[in-house]
């Protein structure tokens, strides 16, 4: 029998606790299923979900203090997105990502996220620049992997949302849903002074309104992290 707040035991898969997803409020006008879908997606983008996790609708429902049906519906929607894979009597698994798949995702992300950075030029005020610097400094001090990855996610999307292109942002989010869990298991990609330097280059390009410069800086950041992560991904 599985304890509340834990994932069911399966051979070769993570048996840790349910990731610390944001709470869901049934009193809101937004349907519960849509809230669950959103918080799981965001948790995956933030690296809260290990790549070898099993997402159980029953365990998640207990964790979120909900009935199982809206959670199951949200997981089915994530399955339709290709973010998880449902297996009979085995919960929902995250698709494994190979080195080649990660490399191909970087090729596309460089284009998409570079474009978002370019479009953000002129739409980022001094307050946002200061917040980006605070977020970058927080990454240097973060002790918990979840906090580090959450700050990294917030840093990038503080820029991408300024592009004011909802369709572009949705495409970028779809890639982060896949790569967030991969980053969860790669501590060598964290706590690197090089990451903070690359982030500062992104901020500097925003400050001087350098569209080509921010595209280069974002590409350097994504490709630099990929060189570390891909070394330990399967062929």
Q: CA–CA separation, 8 vs 12, rounded Å?
A: 12
Residue that is written with structure tokens 């969860």 in the block: 184
Helix (H, G, I), strand (E, B) or coil at 54: strand
Spell out a b/e string for 11-23, using b for 16 or more CB atoms within 10 Å of the CB, else e: eebbeeebbebee
Section 185-207 average pLDDT: 81
Q: Which domains does the chain carry?
A: 1-95 (1.10.10.10), 99-232 (1.20.120.530)
pLDDT digits (tens, 9 = 90+) for 70-111: 999 999 999 999 999 998 878 899 988 899 999 999 999 999
pTM: 0.87
pLDDT at 224: 92
Helix (H, G, I), strand (E, B) or coil at 55: strand
- Judge contact between 153 and 176, C-beta under 8 A: yes
């Amino acid at each position: 029998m599985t304890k509340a707040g834990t994932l069911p035991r399966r051979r070769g898969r993570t048996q840790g606790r349910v990731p610390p997803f944001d709470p869901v409020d049934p009193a809101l006008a937004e349907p519960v299923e849509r809230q669950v879908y959103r918080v799981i997606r965001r948790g995956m983008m933030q690296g809260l979900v290990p790549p070898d996790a099993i997402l159980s609708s029953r365990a998640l429902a207990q964790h979120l203090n909900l009935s199982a049906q809206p959670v199951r519906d949200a997981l089915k929607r994530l399955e339709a997105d290709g973010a998880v894979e449902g297996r009979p009597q085995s919960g929902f698994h995250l698709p494994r990502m190979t080195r080649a798949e990660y490399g191909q995702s970087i090729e596309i992300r460089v284009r998409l996220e570079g474009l978002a950075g370019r479009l953000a030029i002129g739409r980022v005020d001094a307050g946002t620049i200061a917040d980006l610097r605070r977020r970058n400094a927080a990454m240097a001090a973060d002790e918990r992997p979840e906090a580090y990855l959450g700050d990294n996610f917030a840093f990038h999307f503080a820029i991408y949302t300024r592009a004011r292109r909802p369709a572009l942002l949705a495409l970028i989010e779809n890639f982060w849903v896949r790569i967030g869990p991969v980053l969860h298991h790669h501590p060598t990609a964290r706590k690197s002074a090089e990451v903070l330097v690359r982030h500062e280059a992104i901020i500097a390009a925003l400050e001087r309104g350098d569209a080509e410069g921010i595209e280069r800086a974002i590409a350097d950041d994504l490709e630099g992290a990929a060189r570390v992560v891909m070394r330990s991904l399967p062929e």
